[in-house]
């Protein structure tokens, strides 16, 4: 542990911070570590951690129960964690004797509506400033009854209290809007953005993590490229960099006091304006023996020198996202990347001594046709032919629409599974490994990322695990036929739309969306403008 927690005072808020997966997965999440550290550094908070496979000594009665959600498919597991602590799952069933249940993380910040009826509070945005403010407000309102306390919280930026908002639908079941229950509650809630120039690093280093004994250092946050599908870019704008002298170097030095493994994290690590300076600093002889890894990097920034330094520091692989081998599709998604740059990156990785090259690709991108898939296969086959001494792996996923991005109006392509199989058929005989994400689970991701509050009974019916695809589909159909018999509030009197309407349909930009009352970094008008595709 790289910091010393405070001893909580007697009247400290009793908090449980839960993660919907095992300890090894949860403790590897830098976001979870950051939130836990913020709480553990306060003497007015007594925080305990909870994972699906282990827990610390739990409070007999906690005041605050926090849940972090980074992946849509973990949604049903959150409900089991509540039940295990004997906390009512539905927010409207909680009393003065129950803790306030709050949530955060990228999934809830983007579109919390499918999970909204389970939470008393959802924190929208970065936790560095939002979470301390939230704790201060809770301490100030300790003596208020639960309902007044929640109403008081709801008047603060970034703090969303779902029970104080009501969703309405037309007679055909189309979503109309979500509005506050009265004029004292804000019409919209704006995501809060941390703009400091010192970002995060690991506070817990353990051999039991999914990435054992690694010290993670956040180099950048967001991405300046703004590919039209990318929530990691749009939801976290603006692009921010960690100060080299105040943030990056001190963080690396601190990590090296306890481990020899350093991971540089960010959506576009090598686009830090001083990345080359950081790299040269890490190339000093004093760092011989450390193992250095970087997350996905821009292809045009993969130089022979970068590859040599990574090889020298124990790295064997490098990862870049190309999304498609078709220049037309890369233009459609605003991927500013040429085939020459992709081939150059592979050559530089090989010349620098790296043994493995992983490329992220995507199928089902709007306007994509079969010839675009063939171009992806052609590019990778040619890349492998020119770099025979490096192992090439394609991580293939299906396009899933995400809230607050220009592609939020597109649905999942029904032929995406077929397209992935086409890639496998062409690439496998050429010695290129394809690691394909499940098309069916991409559909469930889309169901949650595009859903509204009417999805909550479906998630409730599946609580306890991720369940099978068939169980998800059957539960949704039961909700559509109004067979679940779970009426949480007036929102659930109206059944959800048909399965295909939520998942596969294109939605006109004039359509009201379930998250319209939640303001992301860019206004809807800007997203509509960037939704317009380039003419080919």
What are 348-392's pLDDT values in tens digits?
A: 999 999 999 999 999 999 999 999 999 999 999 999 999 999 999
Average pLDDT of the chain is: 94
Domain range for 38 is 13-190
Provide the pLDDT for residue 7.
86
Reply yes or no: is the peptide bond before residue 238 cis, omega within 30 of 0.
yes
For residues 19 and 165, membership in a common domain is answered with yes
For residues 64 and 175, membership in a common domain is answered with yes
The full length of the chain comes to: 536
pTM: 0.95
For residues 257 and 132, membership in a common domain is answered with no
Residue 397 has pLDDT above 60, yes or no: yes
CA distance 148 to 185: 12
For residues 36 and 146, membership in a common domain is answered with yes
Provide the pLDDT for residue 1.
64
Provide the pLDDT for residue 534.
77
The two three-digit tokens of residue 423, written as one number: 């890639």
At 533, the pLDDT band (50, 70, 90 cuts) reads confident
Which of 265, 295, 325 is the C-terminal boundary of a domain?
A: 295
For residues 213 and 236, membership in a common domain is answered with yes
Which of 171, 190, 209 is the C-terminal boundary of a domain?
A: 190
- Residue 306 domain flag: no
CB 100 within 8 A of CB 65: yes
% of the chain exceeding 90 in pLDDT: 91
Residue 526 has pLDDT above 70, yes or no: yes
Provide the pLDDT for residue 121.
98
DSSP string, 461-523: HTTTS---HHHHHHHHHHHHTT-S----SGGGGSPPPPHHHHHT----TTS--TTTTEE-SS-
Provide the pLDDT for residue 299.
94
- In 10 A of CB 291, how many CB atoms? 16
Provide the pLDDT for residue 6.
73
- Residue 74 domain flag: yes
- Residue 489 domain flag: no
CATH code assigned at 94: 3.40.50
Provide the pLDDT for residue 5.
72
Using DSSP's 3-state secondary structure scheme, residue 14 falls into: strand
CA distance 12 to 390: 55
Which of 134, 160, 190 is the C-terminal boundary of a domain?
A: 190
Residue 489 has pLDDT above 60, yes or no: no
For residues 229 and 361, membership in a common domain is answered with no
CA distance 168 to 174: 9
Residue 496 has pLDDT above 60, yes or no: yes
% of the chain exceeding 70 in pLDDT: 97
Residue 475 has pLDDT above 70, yes or no: yes
CA distance 231 to 408: 10
What are 441-473's pLDDT values in tens digits?
A: 999 999 999 999 999 999 999 987 767 999 999
The two three-digit tokens of residue 394, written as one number: 């394609």
b/e 132-171 (16+ beta carbons within 10 angstroms → b)? eebbebbeebeeeeeeebbbbbbebebbbbbbbbebebee
- In 10 A of CB 478, how many CB atoms? 17
CB 138 within 8 A of CB 100: yes
For residues 348 and 278, membership in a common domain is answered with no
- In 10 A of CB 536, how many CB atoms? 8
Residue 485 has pLDDT above 80, yes or no: no
Residue 421 has pLDDT above 80, yes or no: yes
For residues 219 and 364, membership in a common domain is answered with no
Compute the average pLDDT of residues 54-60. Answer: 91
- Residue 127 domain flag: yes
Q: What are phi and psi of 103, to 5 degrees?
A: -140, 160
For residues 204 and 111, membership in a common domain is answered with no
- Residue 164 domain flag: yes
For residues 24 and 125, membership in a common domain is answered with yes
Q: What are phi and psi of 64, to 5 degrees?
A: -145, 130
Q: Which residue has the tokens 């229950």?
A: 181
- Residue 93 domain flag: yes
Residue 27 has pLDDT above 60, yes or no: yes
Using DSSP's 3-state secondary structure scheme, residue 181 falls into: coil
For residues 236 and 158, membership in a common domain is answered with no
For residues 59 and 171, membership in a common domain is answered with yes
Residue 434 has pLDDT above 70, yes or no: yes
Residue 288 has pLDDT above 70, yes or no: yes
- Residue 513 domain flag: no
Residue 520 has pLDDT above 80, yes or no: yes
At 171, the pLDDT band (50, 70, 90 cuts) reads confident
CA distances from 205 to 3, 38, 215, 221, 254 (A): 11, 17, 6, 22, 11
What are 96-144's pLDDT values in tens digits?
A: 999 999 999 999 999 999 999 999 999 999 999 999 999 999 999 999 9
Strand order in the sheet with 214-218: 214-218, 261-265, 291-294
Please count the structural domains in the chain: 3
CATH code assigned at 401: 3.30.750.200
Provide the pLDDT for residue 484.
79
What are 299-313's pLDDT values in tens digits?
A: 999 999 999 999 999
Residue 491 has pLDDT above 80, yes or no: no
- Residue 108 domain flag: yes
CATH code assigned at 254: 3.30.750
């Amino acid at each position: 542990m790289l910091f010393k927690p405070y001893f909580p005072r007697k009247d400290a808020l009793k908090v449980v911070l839960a993660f919907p997966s095992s300890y090894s997965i949860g403790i590897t999440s830098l976001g979870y570590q950051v939130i836990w550290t913020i709480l553990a550094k306060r003497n007015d908070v007594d925080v305990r951690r909870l994972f699906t496979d282990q827990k610390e000594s739990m409070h007999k009665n906690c005041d605050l129960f926090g849940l972090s959600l980074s992946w849509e498919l973990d949604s049903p597991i959150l409900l089991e964690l509540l039940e295990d602590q004997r906390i009512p799952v539905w927010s409207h069933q909680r009393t003065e004797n129950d803790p306030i249940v709050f949530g955060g993380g990228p999934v809830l910040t983007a579109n919390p509506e499918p999970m909204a009826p389970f939470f008393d509070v959802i924190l929208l945005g970065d936790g560095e400033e939002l979470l301390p403010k939230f704790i201060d407000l809770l301490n100030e309102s300790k003596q208020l009854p639960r309902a007044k306390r929640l109403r008081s919280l709801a008047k603060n930026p970034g703090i969303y209290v779902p029970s104080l908002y009501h969703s309405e639908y037309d007679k055909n079941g189309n979503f109309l809007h979500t509005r506050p229950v009265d004029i004292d509650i804000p019409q919209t809630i704006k995501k809060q953005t941390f703009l400091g120039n010192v970002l995060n690093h690991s506070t817990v280093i353990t051999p039991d993590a999914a990435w054992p004994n690694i010290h993670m250092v956040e180099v950048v946050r967001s991405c300046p490229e703004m590919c039209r599908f990318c929530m990691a870019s749009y939801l976290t704008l603006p692009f921010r960099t960690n100060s080299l002298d105040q943030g990056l170097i001190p963080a690396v030095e601190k990590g090296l006091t306890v481990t020899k493994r350093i991971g540089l994290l960010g959506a576009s690590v090598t686009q830090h304006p001083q990345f080359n300076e950081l790299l040269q600093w890490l190339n000093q002889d004093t760092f011989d023996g450390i193992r250095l890894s970087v997350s996905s990097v821009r292809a045009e920034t993969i130089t022979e020198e970068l590859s040599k330094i990574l090889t020298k520091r124990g790295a064997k692989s490098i990862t870049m996202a190309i999304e498609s081998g078709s220049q037309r599709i890369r233009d459609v998604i605003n991927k500013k990347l040429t085939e020459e740059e992709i081939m150059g990156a592979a050559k530089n990785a090989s010349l620098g001594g790296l043994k493995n090259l992983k490329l992220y690709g995507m199928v089902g991108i709007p306007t994509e046709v079969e010839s675009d898939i063939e171009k992806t296969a052609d590019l990778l086959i040619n890349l492998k032919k020119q770099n025979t001494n490096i192992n090439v792996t394609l991580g293939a996923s299906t396009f899933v629409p995400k809230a607050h991005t220009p592609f939020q109006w597109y649905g999942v392509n029904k032929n995406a599974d077929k397209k992935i199989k086409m890639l496998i058929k062409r690439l496998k005989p050429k010695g290129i490994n394809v690691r394909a994400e499940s098309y069916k689970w991409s559909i469930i991701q889309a169901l949650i990322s595009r859903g509204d509050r009417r999805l909550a009974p479906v998630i409730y019916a599946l609580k306890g695990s991720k369940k099978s695809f068939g169980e998800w589909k059957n539960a949704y159909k039961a909700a559509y036929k109004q067979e679940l018999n779970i009426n949480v509030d007036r929102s659930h009197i109206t059944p959800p739309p048909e399965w295909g309407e939520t998942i596969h349909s294109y939605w006109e930009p004039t359509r009201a969306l379930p998250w319209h009352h939640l303001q992301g970094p860019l206004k809807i008008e800007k997203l509509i403008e960037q939704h317009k595709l380039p003419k080919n």
